[in-house]
Amino acid sequence: MTTDSSAKTPRILSRRTEIIFLVIYCICFSFGSVVHVMDVVKNGLTMSSAGPVAGTSIPLVWIAINKSFTLFNPLTLVLLLVRRRVGIALMVGITTTVFVMNLELMAQWWLQAKFLHVAWLYLNGSLGVFQLVTAPMMWRTSLAREAQRASPALAA
């Protein structure tokens, strides 16, 4: 998975592994972008505060944050391609927000109606675990590649 393990150079991902991780990130955020854009096209910028079952509700703050993903998901895609570390930071921030939001909704809906909200775990949970493992490696690789570009002597 890594190509360079000398003491002077930080361990970085191979180009192939870096591209594979980047493609996975981009596929996931493309899917999220499409889902959020379709939601805005279908429902507009407003959203019902009713939850998935009778007796549950969605706090206004989560509605606003959820709608903001319509902008932030595509922005993350672009930044991952042109400003890698900024894109990684935004990606991790979005995924963390999604986790906090859904964990809070799990607790809230369980207390309101004994409804266990787990549908989000399959996609967002998998992406979150993948990012937890890969984002630090991508960050270090991005730093190392930037240093190599800045100092051609390091690249040799």
Domain contains 61: yes
Domain contains 40: yes
Rounded Cα–Cα distance for residues 94 and 101 (Å): 10
Domain contains 156: no
> pLDDT digits over 45-59, tens only?
877 788 888 888 989
Domain contains 109: yes
Question: What are all long-range contacts of 99-105, with beta carbons under 8 Å and residues at least 24 apart?
Answer: 99/124, 99/128, 101/62, 101/65, 101/66, 104/62, 105/51, 105/58, 105/62
Residues in the chain: 156
Domain contains 123: yes
Rounded to 5°, the CA angle 92-98-35 comes to: 100
Rounded Cα–Cα distance for residues 55 and 114 (Å): 10
Domain contains 116: yes
pTM: 0.85
DSSP 121: I
Rounded Cα–Cα distance for residues 70 and 102 (Å): 17
- Counting the structural domains of the chain, the total is 1
Angle between helix axes 84-113 and 126-150 (nearest 10 degrees) is 160
Question: Please, what's the b/e burial string for 28-46 (b: 16 or more CB within 10 A of its CB; e: otherwise)?
Answer: bbeebbeebeebeeeeeee
Rounded Cα–Cα distance for residues 73 and 126 (Å): 17
> pLDDT digits over 8-47, tens only?
666 899 999 999 999 999 999 999 999 999 988 988 887 7
Which pLDDT value is given to residue 119?
A: 86
Domain contains 154: no
The boundaries of the domain holding residue 133 are 15-146
Q: What is the percent of the chain with per-residue pLDDT over 90, rounded to a whole number? A: 63
Rounded Cα–Cα distance for residues 16 and 114 (Å): 46
Domain contains 153: no
